[in-house]
Amino acid sequence: MEIRRPETMERITTKALAEAFIEEQLQALRSQIGDKKVLLALSGGVDSSVVAALLIKAVGQQLVCVHVNHGLLRKGEPEQVIKVFRDEMNANLIYVDAVDRFLDKLAGVSDPEQKRHIIGEEFIDVFAEEARKLDGVEFLAQGTIWPDILESEAGIKAHHNAGGLPEDIASRFELVEPVRILFKDEVRMVGDALGLPANMVYRQPFPGPGLGVRCPGAITRDRLEAVRESDAILREEFAKNGLEGKVWQYFTVVPDFKSTGVKNGQRTFDWPCIIRAINTTDVMEVTVEHLSAELMDHLVSRILTEVPGINRVLYDFTPKPPATVEYE
Ligand code: XMP
């Protein structure tokens, strides 16, 4: 069934409007799903988290969430998904540890597009395997939002949520897309009204291929850990310094080259860690956030002492264009 955003629909800008939307959706979901089961790939991103929270309210244990850990998530993310959805919301959550599987497939692959392709394909394979194990599931929920529909209609990008699943799986399910008519800021309002944690609802954008694109070239486990640990330090310091939610996106990159350093009178030969922090409204043009010298010094010191394999910290001052936000 094709559901369009009505031309006259009021933008959800208040808690009361978000609550009214939730009430309407709960009824619609209950009448669509009845007593059947519904499956959802829950990444922990804003859209799939809001869909999960709505479905838990609407149909409780009839929802089966699958969280695939592909090894490229940020520090603490899989744990937060389990805590929020399984422990606090009592969701029926299948956690799939696919770390070795993904990293083995990616070993030695340095081409950025090939890396993205492997991550996408492997994700579908893992999810399809889980789906095949389940009996009696008739619905597939997705975190499709209104800009996804507009972009796919305009031919800008394939509607990333709709495709990809093998035919034997796709044909088994009817789609459930409860946030399909919402813009991102409205999804966040709804997430807030559903009681999801603020750091989940207002999180910065995170690419589907995750930390994989921040570990340029062939991914190795030790360099990936250096990306994950330095990213965690950066996020912690941004939160402490009131920059969370103010700076649009910030992350670290650990490139695949080494340089000479010295520590305790001994030569070192380690990777640099690059910090990137940017602001934008449309992602087409991006400006660089200028940090205070004090915060810079503190970040450099923490990363150098706490992250193994790093002997140099750099700051990326390049706007977009000419540089893209991500390095791959
Ligand atoms: P670029 O690097 O193209 O990034 O300037 C613009 C925004 O898009 C995000 N990004 C991605 N998101 N899958 C995603 O879901 C991807 O493959 C991908 N590549 C970039 C990036 O983080 C930034 O917010």
Peptide bond before residue 147 is cis, with ω within 30 degrees of 0? no
List the domain range (segments joined by +) for residue 250: 210-315
CB proximity list for 7: less than 8 A, separation 6 or greater: none
* Domain boundary pick from 172, 201, 230: 201
- CB of 68 closer than 8 Å to CB of 41: yes
* Domain boundary pick from 148, 179, 201: 201
Cα maximum dimension of the chain: 71
| 51 and 173 together in one domain | yes
* Domain boundary pick from 149, 177, 201: 201
CB of 75 closer than 6 angstroms to any ligand 1 atom? no
Q: Can you tell me which atom of ligand 1 is nearest the CA of 205?
A: 24
Q: CATH no. for residue 231?
A: 3.30.300.10
d(CA 21, CA 6): 13
Expressed in angstroms and rounded, the spacing between residue 168 Cα and the centre of ligand 1 is 30
Q: Can you tell me which atom of ligand 1 is nearest the CA of 324?
A: 5
CB of 161 closer than 6 angstroms to any ligand 1 atom? no
| 193 and 214 together in one domain | no
| 238 and 145 together in one domain | no
Q: CATH no. for residue 50?
A: 3.40.50.620
CB of 295 closer than 6 angstroms to any ligand 1 atom? no
CB of 134 closer than 6 angstroms to any ligand 1 atom? no
Expressed in angstroms and rounded, the spacing between residue 253 Cα and the centre of ligand 1 is 14
Structure token pair of residue 33: 């799903």
Cα dist. 323→145, 207, 262, 275 in Å? 28, 17, 31, 14
Residue 326 lies in a domain: no
CB of 205 closer than 6 angstroms to any ligand 1 atom? yes
The tens place of each residue's pLDDT in the chain, 328 residues long, gives 577 898 899 999 999 999 999 999 999 999 999 999 999 999 999 999 999 999 999 999 999 999 999 999 999 999 999 999 999 999 999 999 999 999 999 999 999 999 999 999 999 999 999 999 999 999 999 999 999 888 888 876 665 454 578 888 888 899 999 999 999 999 999 999 999 999 999 999 999 999 999 999 999 999 999 999 999 999 999 999 999 999 999 999 999 999 999 999 999 999 999 999 999 999 999 999 999 999 999 999 999 999 999 999 999 999 999 999 999 9
The domain total for the chain is 2
Q: Can you tell me which atom of ligand 1 is nearest the CA of 160?
A: 15
CB of 164 closer than 6 angstroms to any ligand 1 atom? no
The pTM (predicted TM-score) of the whole model is 0.94
**What is the DSSP secondary structure assignment for residue 324, as one 8-state letter?**
-
